[in-house]
Chain A
């Protein structure tokens, strides 16, 4: 089982450049998420999706865009990269939980992005 696959694992961008972080899951999960993790700051939600064609902003959406054309894929687009976007980015997916059973999020292994 591949789970959640993120590419690339590492990337260095120059200020003003753009890039797309790829995320794919093969578990048929409806819910998908993008988080960023900065030292001492925990995980901050950027965008999330509850199904194909549906996306919504999280806590820190500025400077990012997403799309969800299929259940499997949830790419994150950075336009006009800034040093403040230097971070580790995690994609995650989950099925809908219940009170009794909750499988939580399955996270990818992360993309380490540096903007210089």
Chain B
């Protein structure tokens, strides 16, 4: 079993829709959770960071962590064509940024 599972998609939704992206994990030591966005032929960039369980909101993006279910989500409201990218979840049990474990990424396309 992989430590982090993520549906690779592809996922296509119309512009303005709410997008839900998810990851499950098996390592109960994970407590730092991140979402990265990767545009085609670019390096990933940090989108959201959450420590332990709870919600975090930043503009149109909301990250949720449910440690009891080992399940994390990223919601995108009012999706835009510029949101078309691959979204990778990442997590770590190490304090201080050492060694993130990444999901395989979900490829998202927003249709105008």
Taking a contact as CB atoms under 8 Å apart, the answer to whether B43 and A42 are in contact is: no
- Interface residues contributed by chain A, number (CB under 8 Å): 28
Interface centre among A90, A104, A105, A110, by most B CB within 10 Å? A104
A104 and B49 in contact, given A42-B88, A42-B104, A109-B43 (Cβ under 8 angstroms) = yes
Taking a contact as CB atoms under 8 Å apart, the answer to whether B44 and A107 are in contact is: yes
Number of A-B contacts (CB under 8 A): 64
Taking a contact as CB atoms under 8 Å apart, the answer to whether A96 and B88 are in contact is: no
Taking a contact as CB atoms under 8 Å apart, the answer to whether A48 and B98 are in contact is: yes
- Interface residues contributed by chain B, number (CB under 8 Å): 25
Taking a contact as CB atoms under 8 Å apart, the answer to whether A45 and B105 are in contact is: no
Chain B facing A: main interface SS: loop
Q: What would 29 A/B residue contacts be, using CB atoms closer than 8 Å?
A: A4-B43, A40-B104, A41-B104, A42-B102, A42-B103, A42-B104, A43-B44, A43-B88, A43-B102, A45-B99, A50-B98, A90-B43, A90-B44, A96-B97, A97-B95, A99-B95, A102-B34, A102-B97, A104-B34, A104-B49, A105-B36, A105-B44, A105-B100, A107-B43, A107-B44, A107-B45, A108-B43, A110-B42, A110-B43
Chain A interfacial positions (CB closer than 8 Å to B): 4, 31, 33, 35, 40-43, 45, 48, 50, 58, 90, 92, 94-97, 99-100, 102-105, 107-110
Chain B interfacial positions (CB closer than 8 Å to A): 4, 6, 8, 32, 34, 36, 41-46, 49, 51, 88, 95-100, 102-105
